[in-house]
A and B are shown apart, each in its own frame.
Chain A
Amino acid sequence: MRVRLYDVAHARAGDKGNLNTISLIPYDPAWYPALCAAVTPEAVAAHLADRVAGPVVRHRLNNLAALIFVCPRAPEDTVTTSLHLDAHGKSLSSALLELEVEVEVEVEPEAEAEAAAEAPGGLG
């Protein structure tokens, strides 16, 4: 099935120099394995190619059911010297959530998954 990330996950962008970090966190941790499979660093780099020079590095935080994408911009596109309106790249979280991916795994319905999300520690 095809999903838009906005419909299953939330995101936060931060910046360091000419890097953006963008986290991707499913509302329902049951979606985490599917997002790990579908939202590859390559897919993110291609989707954000307007701003991100690549290559994108992805970190997995399995305990938290969260992904972090580290996205390099052009060397001169630093927060202080950028000519972009959004010099920090803070709005890129919303750009990532516009990405549509093909999810192969059958994800449990939200009602059942909420119980799983409340188990101590979430996904181990």
Chain B
Amino acid sequence: MSTPQARIACGAGFAADRTAPAVDLVERGGLDAIALECLGERTVALAALRRLTDPAGGFDPMLGKRMRALLEPLHRTGTRLVTNAGAADPVGAARMVRALGAELGTPTTVAAVTGDDVLDRIDRTAPAWEDGLPLEAHGELVSANAYIGVDALLPALETPASVVVAGRAADPSLFLAPLVHTLGWDTADWTRMAAGTLVGHLLECAGQVTGGYFADPARKPVPGLADLGYPLAEVGADGTAVVTKLPGTGGRVDRMTVVEQLTYEVTDPRGYLTPDVTLDMGAVTVTDTGGDRVAVRGARGRPRPPDLKVSVGYRAGFRGEGEIGYAGAGALARARLAAEVVRERLSGVLDRLRVDLVGHSALHGEALAAGAEPYECRLRVAGLAADRATAEAVGEEVSALYTAGPAGGGGLRTATEEVIGVLSTTIPRERVETGVVVLEGGAGR
């Protein structure tokens, strides 16, 4: 491959990810940019709901903690950071980061990327991808966020901002945008957009390409998992890339870890859609050159899709849950009896009810569990209802198993929570207007 020209890393792959590996990457990575991917399908909807009652609740609650650890090393090394942790309030998040920079003595100019919130302009009668029913038929809609891409992020990178905070930017775009900016790529060069998107796809789940979510002691051990290093990529001007990690960190980067991540959450490898390109992985090759280095090349691109995907959050009712454990001889039989009793007591009360035997058949069902007799077994009951009081009946009936159920139940846990469901739809690209708000770094708050 050509001489590396851009070095980009991933410091977080989901909202609750670890922070220390990101600090290490900024300190020792010699990076042009680091991206933090912190939004799941439902995270924006939950943030939008929090913001209704807490003006500071609209962005990722862990962003402050992450930036407190990262701002000084970012400042010292001249590394830029791009994140989607702005969730439902990128401008609020940017204000917080700017204030934190002033507090820490590392004045930081922050750019917020706006415009992904499209709740006021989606077609509420459009069918949801998941079930084909109109969006509005599912319940009160509380959020709608379009997956925005490189064309929204690039204007922020063209400002002096060292931190760029977006909301629902597509995960690979968080990586592609700094690559386009650093390497001077043309965003209509579909081959390079595809190559950079593939890099973003491989990095976006952080440790999942360096040995996280991979270890099985019997078949595929991972050294130093507790000190798992997160990934960085060296990307050439032609888009070929080497995925690697910092020396001295735990984990492994090889053909196996890279192919597992390359295939992760890909529903069509020959038509992987992002806001930026249609990526065809059909001719991609990976070359494991040893030493935790894997070269990736061969991505092909076709024009970007005309519509953007939208995640729509809606109030889906309340979920009640209860668990209780049984152990020793006959544990499974007593858990089964408890399941029958709760089913009978909750018959007709909830809209949906599910009863599981954790430690036996909860994850994969009775057929795969057949014949195994666990030492301990946990009854789990979950139900969905339109209102909180009805959902609470699940926890109440599982609790009642203490005195009015089988012998030896212990370890009771109950919970009831509102459920924010997420549906998917699309919006024509031209209906989404993105913008950038720059907050100059300075001493003031």
Contact = CB atoms under 8 A, between A and B. Distances in A.
Interface of A: 6, 10, 12, 14-19, 21, 23, 25, 27, 49-51, 59, 61, 63-66, 68, 70, 75-76, 78-81, 83-86, 91-92, 94-95, 98, 117, 120-122
A70 B269 CA distance: 11
B282 interface: yes
The 7 closest A-B pairs by CB, nearest first: A50-B365, A14-B265, A23-B263, A75-B131, A83-B354, A83-B382, A12-B260
Interface string B402-445: 00000000000000000111111000000000000000000000
B41 interface: yes
A37 B261 CA distance: 24
Interface stretch (B82-90, B224-232, B283-291): B283-291
Given A21-B263, A59-B269, A78-B422, A83 B283 contact: no
B67 interface: no
B263 A10 contact: no
B362 A85 contact: yes
Given A50-B365, A85-B363, A121 B285 contact: yes
A65 B263 CA distance: 11
Interface in B379-409: 380, 382-384
B52 interface: no
Given A59-B268, A61-B263, A85-B380, A10 B220 contact: yes
Interface string B215-259: 010011000000000000000000000000000000000011001
Contacts of A83: 319, 352-354, 382-384
A50 B145 CA distance: 33
A47 B338 CA distance: 28
A95 B380 CA distance: 20
A9 to B, nearest CB: 10
A45 to B, nearest CB: 13
Contacts of A66: 259, 262-263
B375 interface: no
Nearest to A29: B255
Given A14-B265, A80-B419, A81-B419, 14 more contacts: A15-B265, A23-B263, A51-B365, A61-B269, A63-B298, A64-B259, A64-B284, A64-B286, A68-B266, A80-B41, A83-B353, A84-B356, A91-B364, A121-B287
Interface residues of B, number: 56
Given A21-B263, A23-B260, A50 B284 contact: no
Contact of A64 (B41, B220, B262, B421): B262
Contacts of A17: 41, 129-130, 422-424
A43 to B, nearest CB: 14
Contacts of B422: 17, 78-80
Contacts of A120: 287
Contact of B219 (A6, A21, A75, A122): A6
Contacts of A121: 285, 287
Nearest to A7: B219
B53 interface: no
| Interface-centre pick from A76, A79, A84, A85 (highest chain B CB count, 10 A) | A85
A27 B254 CA distance: 12
A51 B368 CA distance: 12
A61 B365 contact: no
Contacts of B49: none
B263 A25 contact: yes
A95 B361 CA distance: 11
Contact of A23 (B41, B216, B264, B284): B264
A122 B285 contact: yes
Contacts of B380: 85
8 contacts: A19-B267, A23-B259, A25-B260, A50-B364, A50-B365, A64-B285, A86-B363, A120-B287
B241 to A, nearest CB: 15
A81 B256 CA distance: 33
Contacts of A94: 363-364
B363 A91 contact: yes
B263 A80 contact: no
